[in-house]
Amino acid sequence: MSNIVAIVGRPNVGKSTLFNRLVGGRQAIVNEESGVTRDRNYGKSEWNGKEFSVIDTGGYVSNSSDIFEEEINKQVVLAMEEADVILFLCDVELGITDLDQSFARLLRRVSKPVYLVANKVDNTARHYDVHEFYRLGVGEEVFPVSSVSGSGTGDLLDKVVEHFTVDAVAETDHLPRIAIVGRPNVGKSSTINTLVGEERNIVTEIAGTTRDSLTTRYNRFGHDFLLVDTAGLRKRAKVHEDVEFYSVMRSVRAIEDSDVCMLLLDATRGLEAQDLNIFHLIERNGKGVVVLVNKWDLIEKDHKTTLLYEKELRARLSPYDDVDIFFTSALTRQRVLKALEAAFEVYANRSKKVKTSELNNVMLEEIENFPPPSIKGKYVHIKYVTQLPTRTPAFAFYCNLPQYVKEPYKRFLENKIRVRWKFTGVPIQVFARKK
């Protein structure tokens, strides 16, 4: 199961710098929304063989009349509710501030692991300044770190990953995991009920899953898999809750715990920014995807409606548009089971292996017909291609000048692979390597 670490604290203590340090060179997932001037960052990290997600939050400011700061505060609280471990970051240069003390009072009521981290300990002299942070009464130990240099982060992570346990349902690890994901109110609950609601005797709830998602074993129509349900998971309603941010938090867990995601869209609202954020989460995590345009029964349509809708949708998803799209209605059960069948095809595509001889016969001919463009008078000669032994499809093209194989040509190679072999619904990685 996935684990989440939230980095929290007042503004300007180095939260984003620590976030970048923990996720290393991996590309963070950024959710940009209109009217919000700060990026919300989600990244992957690994320590001592355990993978986890890291969430960078905005600076918490108490008793603020600023609407923007109030929204950030709500998101910080949500992040803490979602996280398995919380890192409370302070600044050793400025020492304890009123905002630190206010935030510490909030954290003392949290019943989950909280680690107090004194940041900007960039030299030996500052180690002596760390002890004053014990006065905040958060955690049993203060961890001195330098987010810039990475000093002290190893000791901190050693403690953090102690809280991460292995999935307790190892006996079902061989089963495909299919997650139902999407924004709030797109019909996830209804879709779940369409799949399992009428035959409760064939559904077994699996113990040991995360507190935030319900994983059920589904054995029906010749299929045996784990269904990860993110619907109906919101805690008690909050009047001013940022539900869009909350849905991304939940989607992080569900996506990372899955092999294939069934992404639900609301046909009456079309593809919105939040839908794209979740779609890119799926892509960047290397998971399979099937897109369901739900509530299709509510749309007035003629013989061209479906075609035009799908064309516009694929244009928005481009360049990764090799995905199955189904126009469904959870209420009338229209095409929901077809979408489930497609999810199993995607699961098979995700583990497909292409013979090296076949790969070279096809791709080297395509490359000869359309070679990489020359750069600065130098020509790239691709001599050999092979599929890498990775969990998800990845291909290495060996050549004399791999640094000159740019993204447009990599997309060309990916498209040719997709034309010749069926990898629908699965992200493909293309690497150029030195021969």
How are strands ordered across the β-sheet holding 260-266?
A: 203-205, 214-220, 223-229, 177-182, 260-266, 288-294, 324-327
C-beta separation of 100 from 90 below 8 A: yes
Q: β-strands 288-294, 214-220: how paired?
A: unpaired
pLDDT tens digits along 219-273: 776 778 888 776 533 333 433 345 555 556 666 777 887 999 999 999 999 998 8
Mean pLDDT, the chain, integer: 81
Question: Phi-psi region for residue 376, left (φ > 0), alpha (ψ -120 to 50) or beta?
Answer: left
Would you state the pLDDT for residue 158? 93
138, 108 in Cβ contact below 8 A? yes
Alpha helices by DSSP H, listed for 83-223, are 98-107, 153-160, 188-192
d(CA 280, CA 276) in angstroms, rounded, equals 6
**What's the token pair of residue 150?**
């990475």
**Largest interatomic CA distance in the chain:** 75
Find residue 398's DSSP bridge partners.
384, 433
Per-residue pLDDT of the chain (435 residues; tens, 9 = 90+): 568 898 988 888 888 889 888 887 544 333 333 323 244 566 778 888 888 888 887 777 665 555 445 666 676 777 787 788 999 999 998 899 988 998 888 888 888 899 999 999 988 778 888 989 999 998 888 999 999 888 999 999 999 999 886 543 444 567 889 999 888 788 887 888 788 764 433 444 444 333 345 667 777 767 788 887 765 333 334 333 455 555 566 667 778 879 999 999 999 999 988 888 889 889 988 999 999 999 999 998 888 999 999 999 999 999 999 999 999 998 888 999 899 999 999 999 999 999 999 999 999 999 999 999 999 889 999 999 999 998 889 999 999 999 999 999 999 999 999 999 999 999 999 999 998
The closest alpha carbon to 212, from 250, 246, 179, belongs to 250
Cα 395 to Cα 2, 403, 406, 422, 423, distances in angstroms: 27, 16, 15, 14, 13
> pLDDT tens digit string along 264-309?
999 999 998 888 888 988 998 899 999 999 999 999 888 899 999 9
Q: According to the model, what pLDDT value does residue 124 have?
A: 79
Residue corresponding to tokens 């291609």: 385
Output phi, psi for 118, to 5 deg. -95, 110
What pLDDT, in 10s, does the model give residues 299-346? 988 889 999 999 999 999 999 999 999 999 988 889 998 999 999 999
Contact 60, 78 (CB under 8 A): no
Whole-angstrom distance, CA of residue 61 vs CA of residue 73? 7
